[in-house]
């Protein structure tokens, strides 16, 4: 059995308008506060990409924090949230079970999400 890998949440700018919130390791109720804090810190960003490519475990408390962030962003005009979760990853299995594609724009790679969230010129 693999050792417990407590989750880490990082935030980094990605381009002129996006922030990437990356989840690494295991994420559950014990560390959901970190995710909530990091997501709240992106409140002014036009686009937030939550990258779960390196998440080895998530539970419903993690998804709940994403839904809260989505509701907050929906209340602000022009903001969007996207989720990166490769089809073969644990996180995607949980998100598919919960039909998260009805709530979030889902992507296979961070690059795909960044392209989709780029601001369009008017």
Map out the domains of the chain as residue ranges.
28-117
pLDDT at 1: 44
CB 83 within 8 A of CB 95: yes
Q: Which fold has domain 28-117?
A: Transcription Regulator spoIIAA (3.30.750)
pLDDT at 74: 72
Q: Please list the ranges in the chain whose pLDDT falls under 50.
A: 1
Q: What is the pLDDT of residues 93-116, one digit of tens each?
A: 999 999 999 999 999 999 999 998
pLDDT at 84: 97
pLDDT at 120: 63
**Where are the alpha helices (H) located in the chain, listed in sequence order?**
32-40, 60-75, 90-97, 110-117
pLDDT at 118: 78
Q: What's the pTM value of the predicted model, to 2 decimals?
A: 0.89
pLDDT at 78: 67
CB 48 within 8 A of CB 81: yes
């Amino acid at each position: 059995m693999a050792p417990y890998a407590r989750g880490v949440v990082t935030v980094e700018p990605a381009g002129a308008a996006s922030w990437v919130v990356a989840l690494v390791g295991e994420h559950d109720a014990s560390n959901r506060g970190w995710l909530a804090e990091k997501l709240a810190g992106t409140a002014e960003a036009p686009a937030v990409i939550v990258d779960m490519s390196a998440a080895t475990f998530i539970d419903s408390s993690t998804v709940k924090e994403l839904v809260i962030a989505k509701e907050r962003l929906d209340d602000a005009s022009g903001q969007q949230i996207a989720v990166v979760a490769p089809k073969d990853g644990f996180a995607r299995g949980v998100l598919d079970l919960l039909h998260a594609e009805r709530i979030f724009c889902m992507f296979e790679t961070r690059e795909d999400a960044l392209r989709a969230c780029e601001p369009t010129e008017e």
